[in-house]
Structure 1
Amino acid sequence: MDVAASYAMAPGKVILFGEHFVVSGNPAVAAAIRLRTTAYARLRMDGWVTISSKGLGVRVAYRDDELVVHGDGSKVKALNPLKAIVDEARRRFERKDGVDLHVSSEIPVASGLGSSASTAVSTAASLCKAYGAPFDKGIIMELASMAERMVHGRPSGIDHTVITLGGVIIYRPRGGFSSLSFPKFKLVIVNTGRLRSTGRLVAKVQEYLDRDPAVKKRMLSEANRITLEAVESLSRGDLEALGHLMYRNHELLRELGVSSRELDLIVEAARDHNALGAKLTGAGGGGCAIILPRRGSEAEISACMRDLGFEPFIVEVDEEGVVTGTLDEGGIPLEGWGDEG
């Protein structure tokens, strides 16, 4: 008899304002976006756990001390954060059942769009659903945070929080997270295709700021003012003001040295096409830029970015956050789904 498979879908995220400066105590604003990761979980009675990722092309199966690897063995380490979530969920819910877990994502990796957090959140939520636990976003965030610490060391938590909750949130290092009111708007996300190391860029910024206390004070003050004005613009539904603040934020990040030739090209092209605003998002140095287009100009701006050799996505803010469900037919058409070691 087939066992029904549970699934969870989690959005990606963008940092709208405050990246890098949040490390020094400033607030940051993030939004969930409709690029999704889906995790499927199905219980099995033989005690085997299988974890597979469509993007990585690898599947591991383990039970007690037995471990079997299928596919690209060099990618096994990337599944360790998911294994940690599975093991903690089994311990927390006092379950000895095995489980088949499969993850598939629309979100480009290492691009500042929250791919690791979205994977962690969808994995945690699908397991909670499979184990019959109540839909509790607090528990989902707790499980996801384990994986995020393995990936990023000491993350602020902004990624997995906004991905779980959805909408737009502000994070204050000494005050926690709050949801914000916001108008409906679309973003054009532009992927440079250039990978970068968040850790190295964060360290570079801190070294730069610590070199001159006066410069640090000025930049933190300006970044704080931009972020708080952005919160007010969102609450008023003033997208013109919001876009202007995005351009100002990008200039500040350029001064920090975390922009790149590609990111600056995207921002200037957006300005030339009369976009309301544009800036890099996340760590910078590559990854993605976000553009706030005038209503109806999304396709034109996307075509321009494609002509420049970049990969654009038109997205809306995801207001739901993580969602779960059940596949009543008891399976999904995946090669190797349900195979034991």
Structure 2
Amino acid sequence: MTHSISAKQTHTKIILMGEHAVVFGEPAIAIPFGAVTVTATLTESPTDPTIDCAFYKGLLTNTPDVVASLYHLVSLLDQDLNTTDNSLALTITSTIPPERGMGSSAAVAAAVTRAYFNYFDTNLDDHTLRYYLDESEKIAHGSPSGLDALMMVINHAVLFQKPDHFISIPKMPNGYLVVADSGQTSQTKTAVAMIKQKYDANDAETMASIAQIGSLVKEATHAINQEDLHTLGSLLTANHEELKKLGVSAPIMDALQEVALQQGALGAKLTGGGMGGCMIALADTNESALKIADALKALAKEVWVHPLKEDL
């Protein structure tokens, strides 16, 4: 009988506030997002090692650049787990829309790493898992903050700051996030590189926006602790304006935000790398969230409503 092992990553992440600025040492707030999952399955391959995923199906040695981070991860796992006597077929199935700023590459890497360790009956602790996720994310994003990797191994909201400092947020307010997929891929690597180039050149507007986003995140942390949804909402909207100044919004993201605010959202912003991807809107009740979600469906590819305080 063919040996088969699967591993599932049961959540990904949503950055509530602080994306991009977090790369430069400012804090960011992230929450787990359990509406989407990814599963990695390993079976014995009758030929050479293969990969079957949304972007590529074929021999491992022929993987295109679009899955370079996956190839790098599998090569590391093969080396570290000494899999040379095994020819494996890796299949990845995911409900996470790729390249939307949800941390799909980190979620895939987490599922794949767990599947490999399970297949070879090897213990995997969180520290080791983080190592493989960080290595994969360097290839996927160039200069990752480390936040995506962290969020794959914990199941609650955090305040995160590079290089690896985070504080658990024990209690989120009673509210709802509406998450709208624009249908356009998020250009995370391009956006990070663009901002870094400006930052390294001491561009005054870029540095001011990064510092302002950091200040907004600190205010948001206080609002969360006070369970003040209205203040949190206004801070989300202010965060979006700074991201626009950094050049990482897009017409579809601004249009989604405008619809959400017109429908009564307490605040709204893009989330993740930007230049596409997803938009999030804050609502105080499930009824309000559903109203916002219904309006967004005219523009968005997919829409989810997620309790803000849900731990996974």
Q: TM-score, normalised by structure 1?
A: 0.79
Contact preservation (8 Å) 1:271, 1:278: yes
Change (3 A) 1:50 1:207: closer
- Report the number of matched residues: 307
Distance 1:256 1:45 in 2: 47
Displacement of 1:226? 0.9
Displacement of 1:213? 6.0
Q: Which has the larger radius of gyration?
A: 1
Residues 95-120 of structure 1, C-alpha deviations (whole Å, 9 max, x = no match): 43333321011111222111111111
Alignment of 1:293 onto 2:294: no
Structure 2 gaps of 5+ residues are none
Change (3 A) 1:10 1:211: same
Q: 1:165 aligns with which of 154, 158, 163?
A: 154
Aligned to 1:64: none
Q: 1:194 aligns with which of 181, 184, 190?
A: 184
Distance 2:9 2:99 in 1: 20
Residues 140-183 of structure 1, C-alpha deviations (whole Å, 9 max, x = no match): 12122222122222312111211222322222125523332232
Deviating more after overlay: 303-312 vs 223-232: 303-312
Contact preservation (8 Å) 1:60, 1:76: no
Change (3 A) 1:222 1:234: same
Q: 1:177 aligns with which of 159, 166, 169?
A: 166
- Cα RMSD, aligned residues only: 2.7
Change (3 A) 1:185 1:97: farther
- Paired AA for residue 84 in structure 1: H
Aligned to 1:314: 305
SS of the equivalent of 1:219 reads helix
Contact preservation (8 Å) 1:121, 1:140: yes
Aligned to 2:256: 266
SS of the equivalent of 1:15 reads strand
Residues 23-66 of structure 1, C-alpha deviations (whole Å, 9 max, x = no match): 33211222221221111123x3979533211x2251325xxxxx
- Paired AA for residue 106 in structure 1: T
Contact preservation (8 Å) 2:142, 2:189: no
Contact preservation (8 Å) 1:245, 1:277: yes
Residues 197-248 of structure 1, C-alpha deviations (whole Å, 9 max, x = no match): 3233234334555677654554344222211122222333332222121011
Q: 1:88 aligns with which of 69, 72, 76?
A: 76
Deviating more after overlay: 148-157 vs 200-209: 200-209
Change (3 A) 1:248 1:58: same
Aligned to 1:24: 24
Change (3 A) 1:174 1:140: closer
Deviating more after overlay: 188-197 vs 90-99: 90-99
- Paired AA for residue 16 in structure 1: L
SS of the equivalent of 1:280 reads strand
Distance 1:150 1:220 in 2: 24
Q: 2:195 aligns with which of 192, 202, 205?
A: 205
- Paired AA for residue 40 in structure 2: A
Aligned to 1:327: none
Change (3 A) 1:244 1:266: same
Displacement of 1:304? 0.3
Aligned to 2:133: 144
Q: 2:104 aligns with which of 111, 115, 121?
A: 115
Aligned to 1:305: 296
Displacement of 1:249? 0.8
Q: TM-score, normalised by structure 2?
A: 0.86
Contact preservation (8 Å) 1:51, 1:79: no
Contact preservation (8 Å) 2:55, 2:67: no
Distance 2:217 2:296 in 1: 27
Distance 2:65 2:32 in 1: 27
Contact preservation (8 Å) 1:37, 1:104: yes
SS of the equivalent of 2:37 reads strand
Change (3 A) 1:48 1:261: closer
SS of the equivalent of 2:152 reads helix
Change (3 A) 1:101 1:319: farther
Higher strand share: 1
